Amino acid sequence: MSLLMDNQFKELPPDKSVDTKLFLDAVSHVPAFFDCLGSKVFSVIKSDISGNITKIKGVYMKDPAKYVTLEDIVVSEREAYPAEWPKVGATLALMWLKRGLRFIQILLQSLADGDRDENNPNLIRVNVTKAYEQALKRYHGWIVQKIFNVRFRFLSFLIICCYITEGMDKALPHQYIRTSEALVCGVVSSNQVLR
């Protein structure tokens, strides 16, 4: 988890453009967040986030001079694939990455706010369910929603596990929230082109 703090996304410039290389460098450490939770339940989300980062990076690496900002990628794909856009290529990956980052942001905010199940105060199921419902559920079909619902029912690990593993203090979740907000804001800024 400290990896996320060491690789925070920088403040956006006044024009709100998001430097693709800096963004990819920052988000490349996000999948490690799920390792802290130590559960296979999150493997699907971790894999999805990793795959989306790889897709965006693949497009960027084809021509770094052309794709200096995330908006450059989005605009280029909109011109290249007008019929399929925005559900194609790195643009689609960027939309799903934004949703995954939003999931993390809501999860961390819920933990920091002290949301908990009064009957099982050490479980983070309430926090994960809240994050899923607010960030991802509306984009999933009925079957995928049911799969996630079943996976989340089996969450049986402690919130404390993350704190003990990383030696975190209580103020740290707020720092992670700020980092995730910066990442989400960066993607949102690039997605303004999608509207």
Q: Which of 13-22, 37-46, 135-144 has the lowest mean pLDDT?
A: 37-46
When comparing pLDDT for 4 and 37, which is higher? 37
Per-residue confidence at 23, pLDDT binned at 50, 70, 90?
A: very high
The two three-digit tokens of residue 188, written as one number: 């949102």
As a CATH number, domain 2-194 is 1.10.3520.10
Tell me the three state secondary structure of residue 117: strand
Alpha-carbon torsion 153, 122, 139, 69, what sign? negative
pLDDT at res. 34: 79
Tell me the three state secondary structure of residue 189: helix
For 49-89, write each residue's pLDDT tens digit: 999 999 999 999 999 999 999 999 999 999 999 999 988 89
Query: CB-based contacts of 119: which residues, under 8 Å, 6+ apart?
Result: none
Q: Which of 34-48, 112-126, 136-150, 171-185 has the lowest mean pLDDT?
A: 171-185
Of the segments 60-74, 87-101, 128-142, which one has the largest average pLDDT value? 60-74
Per-residue confidence at 148, pLDDT binned at 50, 70, 90?
A: confident
Alpha-carbon torsion 156, 40, 93, 24, what sign? positive
pLDDT at residue 94 greater than cutoff 80 = yes
Q: Residue range 126-146: average pLDDT?
A: 88
Query: CB-based contacts of 137: which residues, under 8 Å, 6+ apart?
Result: 145, 148
Helix (H) or strand (E) holding 33: helix 32-37
**Angle, in degrees to the nearest 10, between helices 89-113 and 125-135:** 140
108, 168 contact by CB (below 8 A): no
Per-residue confidence at 43, pLDDT binned at 50, 70, 90?
A: confident
pLDDT at residue 164 greater than cutoff 80 = no
Alpha-carbon torsion 186, 61, 27, 98, what sign? positive
When comparing pLDDT for 180 and 13, which is higher? 13
pLDDT at res. 172: 46
pLDDT at res. 122: 67
pLDDT at res. 169: 46
When comparing pLDDT for 112 and 184, which is higher? 112
Q: What percent of the chain has pLDDT over 70?
A: 69
Q: What is the rounded CA–CA span in Å between residue 55 and residue 84?
A: 17
**Angle, in degrees to the nearest 10, between helices 70-80 and 172-191:** 40
What does the domain layout of the chain look like in residue ranges? 2-194
The full DSSP string for 9-30 is PPPPPTT---BHHHHHHHHTTT
Secondary structure string (H, E, C) spanning 62-104: HCCCCCCEHHHHHHHHHHHCCCCCCCCHHHHHHHHHHHHHHHH
Q: Which residues pair with 158 in a beta bridge?
A: 123
Mean pLDDT, all residues of the chain: 78
